[in-house]
Every structure is written in C-alpha cells, then in structure tokens.
Amino acid sequence: MTDEVGWHTRQLQAALRERGAVGRCVDLADCRIDTALSWHGLALPGFGRELPDAVLVRGIAGGSFEQVTKRLGVLHALRELGVPVYNDARAIERSVDKSMTSLLLHAARVPAPPTWATESPAEAQRIVTRESAAGHALVLKPLFGSQGKGLQRVGLVDGVHQPLSALEAGLAYLQRFIEPVTKPGFDWRVLVVGGRAVSAMRRISEHWIHNVAQGARCEAAALTPELASLAERASQALDMDYAGVDLMPSAHGAPIQVIEVNGVAAWQGLQRVSAFNIARAIVADLFERKLAACASARRA
Ligand SMILES: Nc1ncnc2c1ncn2[C@@H]1O[C@H](COP(=O)(O)OP(=O)(O)O)[C@@H](O)[C@H]1O
Ligand SMILES: [Mg+2]
C-alpha cells in the first residue's frame, strides 16, 4: 500500500521478485468498500474479487478524517479477513498518534522525554510556565506530524521566553526539549525489522530539527547494544513489524531518549549508509516470520 511510486516501491518489488512473488502498488485512497461485489466486500484496484496474499504498508496519504478512517478501515478489514498486514493498522494508528506513542513508551518504561497532550489552552499554558521555571524549553508538535514539519519550541528557549500561541488544532502536544550535547546536534534513526534493530544512522544538523527532509545529513552509526535495545523495546511497545525509531542523546549521563516511532518509515537515507539491502531484509521478515505466523494462526 503506497501513495507514492518510486525508489522504495522499486526496491520492494525487486526484493519480492527475488522470492518469486509479485508486488503490486495499490493506493489505499483507491481501495473501496463494495458489499455488492464479493463476500468480503473489499475492492482493491487490480485484484478484482480476490485479496492479496499479504499487504505491506509503505505510505498512507493524509486526508480528511473520513478519508483516513476509511483507509485505515481497509487495513483493519484485511487483517480480520486473515490477510497478513505488515504493520498492522493498530500499530500504525498507535504511531501516527504521537500522544499514544508517548503513553505506550511510558507504560513500557522506555526512556522518553516527559510529554503532555491536553485540549485545555489554560492547562497547556500552566505546563509551559512550570517547565520554564524549571529551566526547560518545550517542543510543541502536531499530533500527526511528520518529516519535522510544524514543530515549534516554546517556553525558555536559549534564555528567552517564547510564549505558547493559540492552539490551532485545539490540542497541545508538548514534549520537554532535549538540549543538544554536541554542536552541531544530532539524533539517531534506528530501523527495527521483525523485532531486531538492523541498522542505525546519525542525522546531523545545525538546526535543532534533525529530519533528513529538513536538510540534516546522514552518517553511518554503530548500532550499540544500548541503541539496539531501546529501539527494539520501542518497536515492541507499539507492536510493529518494522519501525523507524528516532532517538536522542541526553546530557549528564542520562539514558538515550526515544523521541518517535515511525510506523510507515522511509529508509532511502539509511540505505545509503547501510551495507546490506534493507528492502530485502523487510521482505525476508515478511515471508519468514509474519506469513509463517499468520499461516499457523489460521491452522490453529
Ligand atoms: N523533545 C525533543 N527534544 C529535542 N529535539 C526534538 C524533540 N522532539 C523532536 N525533536 C527534533 O525534531 C525532530 C522531529 O521530531 P519527531 O518527533 O521525530 O517528529 P517528526 O514526525 O516530524 O519526525 C526530531 O528528529 C528531533 O531532531
Ligand atoms: Mg521523526
């Protein structure tokens, strides 16, 4: 499932071909519910009345609340119909909602910065004031944000007070800002496939936002036991088949912090600094673990 055909889909199709399988690109936006068509009621372009053997979710376009609900509904329905969905809709939902990610990381005792989500502007203001008084800046993030877009620092930023403006979405998702430990600062992206961390890179930028889409440069990074273990625990907390985990170093010997878990992670930047083919690793895990687990669940 992808809303974009390009490098990633070509990589996946090649990896599938190597295993004698055919990968077809389907946009969830083009999938329909049609109860007059077939017993299962799903209509996937190019599949007629049939269902795919497995679904790998690579991209979901943004849309209205109704559109996104239907798109995720199709993924839920596929799972209920016994089709293995690689990153199940439930896992994608948990990671797309950053506040749910924070809650689940907290429940799993994965080190992550203190985080708040509130619909009350007054409560948000109180959090900013309290954190400022304690010397902390906060990051105000869009709940469904990605690629480093729409992030804002508020509170005590470099010694200057940045006020919280009106909450556009009617919700404040606030996270304590992790001060950089180096100049320029960096974070890590670790890819977890089938529960195992497989590759890591550093994203380095003069800007405090370290996304590649915001101009950060990528460098290979050693997958240390600490990084691997944290990324794996984060991926497990959200029940991901594959996940791109963002982590940041913290000062004064504090543990590495998990910032975000991406359920529809891109890996083009990571591939450039990885010695093995990532699409092949993903497809191998889909075949050897996920398909096998679904087949044995069906037999039981
Ligand atoms: N709490 C934080 N402290 C410091 N930097 C942060 C924090 N949260 C996010 N950032 C920076 O902003 C980037 C984007 O934030 P992230 O939560 O990963 O959202 P996105 O979905 O946009 O990637 C991170 O990779 C990191 O560089
Ligand atoms: Mg991120």
Per-domain boundaries in the chain: 7-86, 97-110+181-266, 115-176
Q: What are phi and psi of 173, to 5 degrees?
A: -105, 110
Query: Counting Cβ atoms within 10 Å, is residue 197 exposed (0-12), middle (13-18) or buried (19+)?
Result: buried
**pLDDT on residue 297:** 82
Provide the token pair at 161: 């007070």
Nearest-atom index, ligand 1, CA of 148: 22
Class level of CATH domain 97-110+181-266 = alpha beta
Provide the token pair at 208: 């405090």
Nearest-atom index, ligand 1, CA of 211: 25
Q: Give the distance from CA 165 to its chain's centroid.
A: 27
Report CA(260)–ligand 2 centroid distance (Å). 5
Say yes or no: CB of residue 147 within 6 Å of ligand 1. Answer: yes
**Which residue positions in the chain have pLDDT lower than 70?**
none
**pLDDT on residue 103:** 98
Report CA(260)–ligand 1 centroid distance (Å). 7
Taking the CA atoms of the chain, what radius of gyration do you get in angstroms? 20
Say yes or no: CB of residue 112 within 6 Å of ligand 1. Answer: no
The conformation of residue 289, written as its DSSP 8-state character, comes to I
Report CA(43)–ligand 1 centroid distance (Å). 37
Distance CA 275, CA 200 (A): 11
Say yes or no: CB of residue 146 within 6 Å of ligand 1. Answer: yes
**pLDDT on residue 158:** 87
Say yes or no: CB of residue 199 within 6 Å of ligand 1. Answer: no
Beta-carbon contacts of residue 160 (< 8 Å; ≥ 6 apart)? none
**pLDDT on residue 146:** 85
Residue of 223, 197, 201, 226 lying closest to 211 (CA atoms): 201
> Angle 7-18/278-285 helices, nearest 10 degrees?
60
Nearest-atom index, ligand 1, CA of 178: 3
- List the residue whose alpha carbon is closest to atom 7 of ligand 1: 177
Q: What are phi and psi of 88, to 5 degrees?
A: -55, 150
Say yes or no: CB of residue 3 within 6 Å of ligand 1. Answer: no
Q: For the chain, where are the E strands, in sequence order?
A: 32-33, 42-43, 55-56, 85-86, 115-118, 137-141, 152-157, 160-162, 172-176, 185-193, 196-205, 217-220, 242-248, 257-262
Say yes or no: CB of residue 131 within 6 Å of ligand 1. Answer: no
Say yes or no: CB of residue 259 within 6 Å of ligand 1. Answer: yes
Distance CA 245, CA 234 (A): 7
